[in-house]
Amino acid sequence: MYLDPDIKEQLEFWKRFGESDGFDVDHLMDVKPSSCKLNTRTFEDNDDYPTHIVHYAKMGLHKYNLIQGTNLQLSSIEKFNTRYSVVYCGYYITLIAKDPAAGSCLVPFQTRVLEQGIDKNDLTCYIARPKYGPPRGGKVLTTHLDTEQVDDDFYKGSLPAWPSEDAFKDKKRYYV
């Protein structure tokens, strides 16, 4: 099958992007095809962080804290990558968290937040992990309908049974 050289170049770039889970891609920026919508930004000590990036970083920490039972807190943001599309915008944020339970020791951390929507934002946090945790295996969200990305490393059990029709007939069981 013939594949346009520009398309082939884009696919190769996104494959290499996916191998790093979208983080630490500075080395790819020199070979990024102009048609690939990806920006990077690294912060210095006195830089102001964009408000939405701070919120998304905290969202990733919050998800991790809820699942792991920890209390990591945002200390600083090192850098972030933004991947644009017509329908969504993916943010790959590398930050430094502090762990009060470990004497405020600093923990490099990565989170990926997907922002979807036109009139209102739908936010989803797909990655929330210490930076040196295991990679997800190079999966990259290619469209907003890519359900393969929704696999959850933390919840592997079966879903509970769906309640029967009779379950909601007891009016005294629930109150407002």
Q: Between 71 and 162, whose confidence is greater? A: 71
In a domain, residue 156? The reply is no
- Distance between CA atoms of residues 140 and 59, nearest Å: 20
In a domain, residue 73? The reply is yes
Amino acid 110 reads Q
Give me the mean pLDDT over the 137-146 stretch.
40
Measuring CA to CA, which residue among 128, 46, 145, 136 is closest to residue 91?
Answer: 128
pTM above 0.85, yes or no: no
Q: How many structural domains is the chain composed of?
A: 1
Check whether 142 has a pLDDT greater than 70. Answer: no
The token pair at 12 is 């190769």
In a domain, residue 169? The reply is no
Check whether 154 has a pLDDT greater than 80. Answer: no
Check whether 149 has a pLDDT greater than 50. Answer: no
In a domain, residue 114? The reply is yes
Phi and psi for 10 in degrees, rounded to 5? -65, -45
In a domain, residue 157? The reply is no
Contact 29, 75 (CB under 8 A): no
In a domain, residue 108? The reply is yes
Span of 12-16, 30-34, 107-111, 155-159 with lowest mean pLDDT: 155-159
pLDDT band at 175 (very low <50, low <70, confident <90, very high): low
Residue with tokens 């990305």: 149
Q: Which CATH number do you get for residue 73?
A: 3.10.450.10
The token pair at 139 is 């999966």
In a domain, residue 140? The reply is yes
In a domain, residue 158? The reply is no
How do residues 12-41 score in pLDDT, each as one tens digit?
A: 888 888 888 889 888 888 888 888 888 889
How do residues 51-102 score in pLDDT, each as one tens digit?
A: 999 999 999 999 999 999 999 999 999 999 999 888 889 999 999 999 988 8
Distance of CA 5 to the CA centre of its chain: 30
Tell me the C-alpha to C-alpha distance, in Å, between residue 70 and each of 89, 108, 110, 133.
28, 15, 15, 16
The range of the structural domain enclosing residue 140 comes to 8-149
pLDDT band at 172 (very low <50, low <70, confident <90, very high): low
In the sheet that 88-99 helps form, which strands lie side by side, from edge to edge?
38-42, 73-84, 88-99, 105-116, 122-130
- What integer pLDDT is reported at residue 147 of this predicted model? 40
